Chain A
Amino acid sequence: MTNSATALREPATGSAGRRTGLLGRLRQVEPVALVWLVLVLLLLFLVVAPLAKLFMVSFETQDTGAFTLSNYLTAYGRARYLDALVNSLILGLTSATISVVLAVPMAWAVSRTDMPGKGITWAVVLGAFVMPPYLGAIGWILLAGPNSGVVNQLWRAITGAEGAFFNVYSFEGLSLVIALHSFPLVFIFVKAALDLVSSEMEDAANILGAGTWTAMRKVSLPLVWPSILGAFIIVFLETIALFGTPAIIGIPARINVVTTQLWQFFEYPVRVEVAAAYAMPLLLITIGMIVVQKLMLARKGFVSQTGKGGERRVIKLGPWRWALFGWCACVGALSVAMPLLILVQASFAKAWGRGVSLDNFTLRNYQLLLFEHEMAMTSIWNTIWFSAAAATLAVLIALLVAYIVNRRLVPFGEALGFLAMAPFVIPGIVMAIGFYAAYASPPLALYGTAAIIIFAFTARFLPIAYANSSAAIRAVHPEMEEAARILGSGRLHAISRVTAPLIKKALLGGWLIVFIVASRELSAAIFLVGPRTRTMSVLLYDLSEAGNFEVLAAFGGLLLLITLVFVAIGMKLVGRDFMLRRS
């Protein structure tokens, strides 16, 4: 108050006096406060405004903007639209369940037992995580198309049966294909939790007469129950927000889901209002799930880490270790090896159904993409630089927020952290529609620009960057910074010279993860791209319309190649498990 009063009186005292006054005032303002303000504005722009706009638009009449409830009536007025919602819910639950079934034994085996081939298991999880889900879907169409799919052809050849062994164009097919690319999330969560459970808990059970199986079932798994539940919810949310796989498999399988229905509301005339109204329950479901999670975990203790450093021994499984390894190998074959092999074969084929033979071999698909398709190369470049920009922005924002929150530099810092984490529970496609509603039109007129896609990616993956940065910051005790500050260093100087170098690796890991998931993102991009800003995933989707799987496979191959280059860089610089470390 005194300060501002001085500042107000300042002009009368001449320029020299003013300078000291202003400087004096600025010196009072910690730079942190300015950073905080900028962060608040950024988070409002990236997270709050699009969602608020979406909420408002859902009550608006098109053109006039008058208040109405009719959008909700239109959105829920038809049985078909409701069916899509129900389909999405069942699909989400099914895929999440399959993911848990696939991943929990793997996580337990890798974390607690003497199972052989842990390195391969890691590679499987990483491979399934890196492969874009729609690419896996295409691989599975080639594998399990009811008539021409390799698996079904083999089945018929061996058994002489008429029918198909597994039809990918079905609800089971759709949920399995989705689960095969979501289970790594469960693995990462559950393994991280199991790593903390010390053997003494299991020992106690053993002493009381429980065998390995009972101890695992009654002690180890219940202890990591929160992480299983958390991972289940995340897979559920990822599934209901997925657009590519349901469009590619769901249409032939006659399964309409929320995302494909949202897409229909964007048909002429574009009904953003109805789409917004239709998206609202997704947010409610999300909130509902989190409440359920809280209730299920309430009033139970899951403490597995204590002050006494518990010993952790591997459990000897005897012959059972091969059974577990078989399970991991099986998941690996289904999720990575088989789709990848068939995609590579198709990408060099004239017609994928004709199998491997010299007269079916061609380089045409690659030639078309690399030399004749003007947009293919542009989209590769777009993908790389949009993802890099989004990753940089996300890590930067996340780092600053994490620092402010963890060092308690401002009051209500937790609110910032909450905003940074919020997109985690917002389906990507809802986020994209929010961005379209809020920023596509003038005054900002960002539609079709690189900026809108970069911002959408930043917002969508901010939580990953935040979780990463927050863990990194927490790992650095403030005393090191304090030492620097005692020696006369300013806060920003201390951060840049002491803290930043200490967490450099972790940040790089976070950057790469955001880069990789952004480079394959489809549902957040599909409503925002313009003619020159299409990404590889969107171009892949455009190409998939005509069902030309050979070219698609070749393009998918290029996308994977680029991703692998970045994964390799990450492993080299950050460590082998950088993608899967849950910190």
Chain B
Amino acid sequence: MQNATRRHVLKAAAGAAVYGLAAPALATAQTLPPHERELYEAAKREGEITWYSGQYSAEGSEAVGRAFTERYPGVRCNVVRSTSQVAFQRLSQDARARVAQCDVFSSTNSGHFTLLKRENRLTQFRPRNADGMLESIRVADPDNFYQTTFLGLFQLGHNTQKVSEAEAPKSWTDLLEPKWRDQLAVGHPGFSGAIGVWAVQMRKMYGWDYFKRLEQNRPQIGRSSQDPVTLLNAGERTVGVCVPAGTTLLSISRGNPLRLIYPTEGVLATIAPSAIPRNAPHPNAAKLFMEYQASKEMSQVIRGLFAEPLRPDVPGPEGSLPLDQIKLLTPTLEEQEKGVPEVRELWRDTFGV
């Protein structure tokens, strides 16, 4: 059966080559591993997948969606990129309206997934490609309701023209020094999942007092964790707090005067999953997309945008330290689920928005 299919495909490919038609598409189909090919056939009948994501940047998410459709022609990826809390808000609005629109949900706040799993709103699925992922992140959920698809490092960054390397803060607590008044920029836990996780981590290490003291320095509050990167580029603020390494490195590669700082206490790592909602309208395409997110191909795409690959067979992005040389800070999933809504409220009381 498989032979016949292959021969058929080869013949078709030869025919296409003669006429110069659709050669790349067929070539891809041919090279797919069997488990992907099977899903691909089913996914093609569904035709599309809608991806609510707060993980990679807008540019990165679009690149992933485009690369997916290129690899699996006939399965269009609708990228709905927003901050993670807004993505979750959209999912909740869908649920409230009893309308199923989302096929794959990705968030930097892992607490979303423990909550969705407990409410029995996720599909059990383990992508086979996950076997090739970094061992430490291979299993996000022992029951396979969600799967790690994002390894985000969140650090400090500074504008090198306004603040020298020697002057720049070295640690998370350095930010509390009065000399950073009106210099800092940070996202908002009501929007960004990563900022919520970071706030949980800081509260765990230093208590909420950390944020009350941070407020004395009047940081500029945006929405996404990436927001400060633009502010630093423009020179509006000089030090970015909890900025994603990927977006910062990408910005540096485009000639902006920025530098990443590895805080002495450690780097915030959001080892964040994706999941298929139980009512996903395109379940096979969703599974194919989960396979894709675990694949070497996607790790290569995101590496091109300076995000951290998920697999040992793809080297880390240029300009970043190898993972084994960094101390990672990560709250547990339970701490995230319980903590983020709490710090969001506390944040609004402390900062006023």
Binding site for B on A (CB under 8 A): 80, 145-149, 169, 247, 250-252, 254-256, 260, 264, 266-270, 272, 350-354, 359, 368, 372-375, 436, 440-442, 445, 447-448, 527, 530-532, 534, 542-551
Contacts and interface: CB of A to CB of B under 8 A. Distances in A.
A266 B86 CA distance: 9
A149 to B, nearest CB: 8
13 contacts: A80-B348, A145-B236, A254-B221, A267-B190, A270-B89, A353-B236, A354-B233, A374-B65, A531-B50, A546-B57, A547-B223, A547-B231, A548-B226
A269 B50 CA distance: 22
B57 A447 contact: no
Given A353-B236, A441-B97, A546-B230, A269 B92 contact: yes
Contacts of A548: 58, 226, 230
Contacts of A542: 58, 81-82, 86
Given A80-B348, A264-B190, A266-B89, 4 more contacts: A80-B349, A260-B353, A269-B92, A374-B78
A445 B98 contact: yes
A249 to B, nearest CB: 11
B351 interface: yes
B99 interface: yes
B222 interface: yes
B59 A368 contact: yes
A453 to B, nearest CB: 14
Interface centre among A147, A547, A548 (most CB of B within 10 A): A547
A531 B102 CA distance: 8
Interface string B193-232: 0000000000000000000000000001111101111110
B256 interface: yes
A442 B97 CA distance: 7
B353 A254 contact: yes
B352 interface: yes
Contacts, number: 156
Interface of B: 50, 52, 57-59, 62-63, 65-66, 76-83, 85-86, 88-89, 92-99, 101-102, 188, 190-191, 220-224, 226-231, 233-237, 247, 254-256, 348-349, 351-353
B319 to A, nearest CB: 18
Given A272-B96, A350-B255, A440-B99, A252 B222 contact: yes
A148 B92 contact: no
Given A256-B352, A547-B227, A266 B98 contact: no
B110 to A, nearest CB: 15
Given A268-B89, A350-B254, A546-B230, A255 B353 contact: yes
Contacts of B62: 368, 372-375
- Interface secondary structure of A, over-half rule: loop
B78 A375 contact: yes
Contact of B221 (A146, A252, A354, A545): A252
Contacts of B190: 264, 267
Contacts of B237: 147
Contacts of B50: 531-532
- Interface secondary structure of B, over-half rule: mixed
Given A251-B223, A266-B89, A547 B230 contact: yes
Given A268-B92, A374-B62, A445 B353 contact: no
Contact of A442 (B93, B98, B247): B98
A441 B66 contact: no
Nearest to A350: B254
A24 B95 CA distance: 52
A530 B101 contact: yes
Considering the complex of A and B, which 9 residue pairs feature the smallest CB-CB distances, nearest first?
Answer: A353-B234, A440-B97, A547-B227, A447-B97, A351-B233, A546-B224, A148-B236, A254-B352, A546-B226
Nearest to B236: A148
Given A531-B101, A548-B230, A146 B65 contact: no
A330 B226 CA distance: 36
B233 A372 contact: no
A440 B94 CA distance: 9
A542 B83 CA distance: 8
A546 B88 contact: no
A569 B95 CA distance: 43
Interface centre among B57, B95, B222, B353 (most CB of A within 10 A): B353
Contacts of B92: 266-270
A372 to B, nearest CB: 6
A109 B30 CA distance: 74
B80 A531 contact: yes
A353 B221 contact: no
B86 A545 contact: yes
A352 B86 CA distance: 27
B236 A350 contact: no
B256 A350 contact: yes
A511 to B, nearest CB: 31
A448 B222 CA distance: 28
B78 A532 contact: yes
A65 B221 CA distance: 38
Contacts of B83: 545-546
B235 A148 contact: yes
A180 B70 CA distance: 45
A251 B97 contact: no
Contacts of A374: 62, 65-66, 76-79
B243 to A, nearest CB: 11
A255 B228 CA distance: 19
Interface centre among A247, A256, A260, A545 (most CB of B within 10 A): A545
A260 to B, nearest CB: 8
Contact of B234 (A148, A255, A441, A527): A148
Contacts of A546: 57-58, 83, 223-224, 226-227, 230, 247
